[in-house]
Chains A and B, each alone.
Chain A
């Protein structure tokens, strides 16, 4: 069958799985396209590859297109987040020095209680605490800041610095940073390197944080609706395949290949199966749904998610929050998601916005086929985000 080749850029991370699986399992060919996956050396390079038309779609940190729409970070090419690629999937870790002090204070490294972890870290750290993150505009920064501001860490002087994920372990070992928030497999990589212990999964701060999005240029989305639809459907099929627990080991094998992540499959397994080694002495912790690619309409780009991101960015950068939320809402394209995926019989929610953090338990909601159950959606401090109108 004749297929159209589609150049797509990604960062070699576990959460690039939907794109890699779409290619490796041939879901792209089912839709008459052929994904040409291009790894990017940095997030800024990846963003530029998409913005300047060197690729047609990209695996992007969810705050990047939002920041662009708000005019932050320089130039602006209008981008659309046509679907969410994954929810959650980050870890917060500390260097061995801090890990030792935490243990001395009797901290249990439960890998789940964000409030307790913040309090314990505040007791154990010096006055200045330096965190490494992969990029200025990232869910890593948003979750860290949210967590720090609402725990005893608020009394500390915290600095957040950019460190490329593959260099995170080295930065920790050299004392350049004390702690980090990074996407897998790089947190586990640092643990295996004996330079870090894991404190929390990102999920412990917000159970439904939109981590990565599938982004395209607005003009491309308008001129190539057929290709866009094919891309979205093949990636959605890949997410569904990944949601099957039996697929996960195979997925680890695929992702670990030299052409993609180039790490051991065992390292990829930890994120996909939620089985973590949190310290150098091999303590194990389990996290249900550590990273989510499918269940509970995980890939639906809720406009309220874009608004939450815009709200945080606006406050930090001195912008009007209501205006920022309005500008951001149009970046998450729930309209295109409905248009391109309803034919597959995908369970699509009736609403395009929701209160974020307002579901203490999973709940059935109105949807196209009437059987959509949204998962628990809560912030660790139980606060609720109401998007501006």
Chain B
């Protein structure tokens, strides 16, 4: 049995890749290789014959790994783990269910687990940060749209700001849509008409 674990990390985002590599290095005796381009992924991974492959569960290229689990003999199969926060524990479930294609004989679970735990924790923190950032950006954009729609209504119908907002909200409620959507429709329509 090998002393060192070879871990391949498939991640195109450099920042995320570094974070994962750092986390893995801290945990001890692992050689970590980062693959940042998905073209010919299966072959690239095969040349490193890793013990573990880490790839985000939301990465469409995960399907390329499926070839490895089918093509290679059971003893050569890499342990592929798929870590992500968003899919709600799918990775844990997969591992707990003992996805046999991904587990090599002779590789003890207690060696994988700390690495897994750290990588999962890292992915979750990074993902959460990204989601929060997106949410904030979206909220800001919607605010801007609503302001423009209010402005249009004030000008076209001679309304006060609060009246304009009330009209937007009432329309949204009547049509069972979000205020931001009504605002967007209004801004688009006015752009077309002007």
**A131 contacts chain B at the CB level, 8 A cutoff:** no
Q: Give 1 or 0 for each of A98-127: 1 = CB within 8 Å of chain B CB.
A: 000000000000000000000000000000
| B40 adjacent to A75 (CB under 8 Å) | no
Given the complex, which residues of B lie within 8 Å of A45, measured CB to CB? 57-58, 62, 82, 87, 90
Q: Given that A42-B60, A176-B40 are contacting pairs, would A162 and B87 also be in contact in the complex, using a CB cutoff of 8 Å?
A: no
CA of A215 to CA of B5, assembled, Å = 37
Give the contacting residue for B65; candidates A44, A48, A167; CB below 8 A: A44
| B69 adjacent to A41 (CB under 8 Å) | no
**A318 contacts chain B at the CB level, 8 A cutoff:** no
> Which candidate, B91-99, B107-115, B158-166, B176-184, is the interface stretch facing chain A?
B91-99
Q: Give 1 or 0 for each of A42-85: 1 = CB within 8 Å of chain B CB.
A: 11110011011110000000000000000011110100000000
**B118 contacts chain A at the CB level, 8 A cutoff:** no
- B residues 41-93 in Cβ contact with A at 8 Å: 42, 57-67, 69-70, 82, 87-88, 90, 93
Given the complex, which residues of B lie within 8 Å of A332, measured CB to CB? none
**A163 contacts chain B at the CB level, 8 A cutoff:** yes
Interface of A is mostly: loop
| B93 adjacent to A44 (CB under 8 Å) | no
Q: Given that A42-B63, A176-B39 are contacting pairs, would A75 and B99 also be in contact in the complex, using a CB cutoff of 8 Å?
A: yes
Q: Give 1 or 0 for each of A21-37: 1 = CB within 8 Å of chain B CB.
A: 00000000000000000
| A44 adjacent to B40 (CB under 8 Å) | no
CA of A174 to CA of B39, assembled, Å = 9
**A161 contacts chain B at the CB level, 8 A cutoff:** yes
Given the complex, which residues of A lie within 8 Å of B102, measured CB to CB? 74
A contacts with B, residue count (CB < 8 A) = 29
- A residues 148-167 in Cβ contact with B at 8 Å: 161-164, 166-167
CA of A27 to CA of B93, assembled, Å = 32
| B87 adjacent to A54 (CB under 8 Å) | yes
Given the complex, which residues of B lie within 8 Å of A73, measured CB to CB? 66, 69-70, 101
**B38 contacts chain A at the CB level, 8 A cutoff:** yes
- Expressed in whole angstroms, the minimum distance between the Cβ of A169 and any Cβ of chain B is 13
| B67 adjacent to A41 (CB under 8 Å) | no
**A135 contacts chain B at the CB level, 8 A cutoff:** yes
CA of A53 to CA of B67, assembled, Å = 24
Kindly report which residue of chain A lies nearest to residue B98, judged by CB atoms.
A75
**B136 contacts chain A at the CB level, 8 A cutoff:** no
**A89 contacts chain B at the CB level, 8 A cutoff:** no
- A residues 266-299 in Cβ contact with B at 8 Å: none
Given the complex, which residues of B lie within 8 Å of A176, measured CB to CB? 39-40
| A167 adjacent to B100 (CB under 8 Å) | no
Question: Most B CB atoms within 10 A — which of A52, A73, A161, A171?
Answer: A52
- A residues 337-380 in Cβ contact with B at 8 Å: none
**A136 contacts chain B at the CB level, 8 A cutoff:** yes
| A136 adjacent to B70 (CB under 8 Å) | yes
- B residues 5-43 in Cβ contact with A at 8 Å: 38-40, 42
**A387 contacts chain B at the CB level, 8 A cutoff:** no
Given the complex, which residues of A lie within 8 Å of B67, measured CB to CB? 136, 161-162
Given the complex, which residues of A lie within 8 Å of B61, measured CB to CB? 42, 164, 167
Given the complex, which residues of A lie within 8 Å of B59, measured CB to CB? 41-42
| A75 adjacent to B101 (CB under 8 Å) | yes
**A185 contacts chain B at the CB level, 8 A cutoff:** no
| A171 adjacent to B90 (CB under 8 Å) | no
- Expressed in whole angstroms, the minimum distance between the Cβ of A76 and any Cβ of chain B is 8
| A41 adjacent to B57 (CB under 8 Å) | yes
Kindly report which residue of chain B lies nearest to residue A134, judged by CB atoms.
B63
CA of A44 to CA of B99, assembled, Å = 12
9 A-B pairs with C-beta separation under 8 A = A44-B65, A48-B94, A73-B69, A75-B99, A134-B63, A161-B42, A162-B42, A162-B63, A176-B39
Chain B interface (Cβ < 8 Å from any Cβ of A) = 38-40, 42, 57-67, 69-70, 82, 87-88, 90, 93-94, 97-102
- Known A48-B94, A74-B69, A166-B60; further 20 A-B contacts with Cβ < 8 A: A42-B60, A42-B62, A45-B62, A48-B82, A48-B90, A49-B87, A49-B90, A52-B90, A72-B70, A73-B69, A75-B98, A75-B101, A134-B63, A135-B63, A136-B67, A162-B63, A162-B64, A162-B66, A164-B61, A176-B40
